Structure 1
Amino acid sequence: MDLTSACMPDAIASAHAEADDERHTERVGPLLAAQDRSERAEGVELMLSELLPLDERRRDEATVWLEFTMAARTRPELQPLARESYDGMRTLVRRIVEGVARHGALRAGTEVETERLCALLDGLTVEGVLHPDRMTPSAMVLALRRHLETLAEPGL
């Protein structure tokens, strides 16, 4: 079902997308600020998990994001907000990768690791929305955790 065109007028879809971005920022802001060395790995996983459809609320947010993003492909008036949402997520991921880099050597450069992590999050989100019976919350968390383990050189 196409939520954006069937159920939500443009203004509602746009407002919902903006509210989703604000909710993500509200949820991850305290996690970014509260980091100490011993909590870093868990905090990074928690921050990024907020972007994944791990429960009904986040699955609903991800579904709206996906529908809105798809609608923006063919509706120019929606493209600025879709780009803003995309850029916001990438900025958050880049900040997290840069934070990991501050505490040790990345296996690859910041840009490459940002691209890899964004691609993983996008893929897990799409699969979690389209195939929730196969891409379960536990599978998403495990894939994210394993990926995060590969970001930095061992022992960091």
Structure 2
Amino acid sequence: MPKIVDHEERRAEVLEATWRVIATRGLDAATVRQIAKEAGVSSGVLAHYFADKDDILVQAHRLAYDRVFRRVEEKIGRSTGIEALRATLYETLPMDENRRIEAVIDINYIGRALNDPRLKLVRQESAQVARGWWLGVLTSTAAGGHLAVDTNLELLVDQILVFIDGISLQSVLFPDLMTPELQKRLADDLIARIRA
């Protein structure tokens, strides 16, 4: 009897293997051969699911962003208010090993996107999705009266995105300095300045 393969699960396994290769060896080392080896499959299996290496990288990037959004939804559900906003901010920062790997991957993509128009476009699309997502989070928080009345939500979205990118970069480059404890203190300070 032939083995039944869950194609979505297999794709996710390959993309997770891609993340591991990028996190440990860098984006340039993420060759089809190396990704296949890390995933425990043949290069032919990758060709069945992805058009080429760039397609693998693009899909891995999109899945990483999607997982952040899903993780936040699982953590806070439909909660609103300042504590839900704090929990959301914590979940987007590299405070544990899995989130640190997400930061390493994103920083690798940013570096590569400088000279790769396709990855640059994908990164811009991800940033737009994140912008819209954060605007929704902040709009809910403000509607409940939890943010200072004069808060410019669109400006705050940009501040939060720069905050996350900056902490992520610092955490990857200087992990002994940008510790999870410091990340929490910085996030708490940001929340204290914007709360009602």
User: What range describes the TM-score normalised by the shorter chain of this pair?
Assistant: 0.7 to 0.9
Query: CA–CA distance in 2 between the matches of 1:65 and 1:29?
Result: 21
Query: CA–CA distance in 2 between the matches of 1:137 and 1:5?
Result: 28
- Which residue of 2 is the match for residue 146 of structure 1? 189
- Which residue of 2 is the match for residue 109 of structure 1? 152
Evaluate the alpha carbon distance shift between residue 143 and residue 107 of structure 1 in structure 2; reply closer, same or farther with a 3 A threshold: farther
Contact in 2 for aligned 1:17/1:65 (Cα 8 Å):
yes
- Which residue of 1 is the match for residue 38 of structure 2? none
- Which residue of 1 is the match for residue 17 of structure 2? none
- Which residue of 2 is the match for residue 81 of structure 1? 122
Question: Quick one: which of 26, 44, 48 aligns to 1:3?
Answer: 26
Evaluate the alpha carbon distance shift between residue 2 and residue 87 of structure 1 in structure 2; reply closer, same or farther with a 3 A threshold: farther
Name the SS of the counterpart of 2:119 in structure 1.
helix
| Structure 1 residue 118 corresponds to structure 2 residue 152 | no
| Structure 1 residue 56 corresponds to structure 2 residue 97 | yes
Evaluate the alpha carbon distance shift between residue 102 and residue 31 of structure 1 in structure 2; reply closer, same or farther with a 3 A threshold: farther
| Structure 1 residue 95 corresponds to structure 2 residue 139 | no
Query: CA–CA distance in 2 between the matches of 1:20 and 1:90?
Result: 16
Which protein is bigger by CA-based radius of gyration?
A: 2
| Structure 1 residue 133 corresponds to structure 2 residue 156 | no
RMSD across aligned C-alpha pairs, in angstroms? 2.0
Which amino acid counterpart does residue 148 of structure 1 have in structure 2?
I
Query: CA–CA distance in 2 between the matches of 1:10 and 1:42?
Result: 39
How far does residue 129 in structure 1 lie from its aligned partner after superposition?
Answer: 1.2
How far does residue 143 in structure 1 lie from its aligned partner after superposition?
Answer: 0.5
- Which residue of 1 is the match for residue 3 of structure 2? none
The 10-residue stretch of structure 1 (122-131 or 110-119) with the greater mean CA deviation from structure 2: 110-119
Evaluate the alpha carbon distance shift between residue 87 and residue 32 of structure 1 in structure 2; reply closer, same or farther with a 3 A threshold: farther
How far does residue 107 in structure 1 lie from its aligned partner after superposition?
Answer: 3.9
Query: CA–CA distance in 2 between the matches of 1:94 and 1:131?
Result: 30
Segments of 5+ residues of structure 2 without an aligned counterpart are: 1-23, 32-52
Dislocated runs of 4+, deviation >4 Å: none
Segments of 5+ residues of structure 1 without an aligned counterpart are: none
The 10-residue stretch of structure 1 (80-89 or 6-15) with the greater mean CA deviation from structure 2: 6-15
| Structure 1 residue 21 corresponds to structure 2 residue 44 | no
**Larger relative contact order (Cα-Cα within 8 Å, sequence gap ≥ 6):** 1
Identity of aligned residues (%): 24
CA offsets per residue over residues 90-124 of structure 1, 9 Å max, x none? 22222222122112244431112112222211111
Instruction: Give the paired residue count.
Output: 150
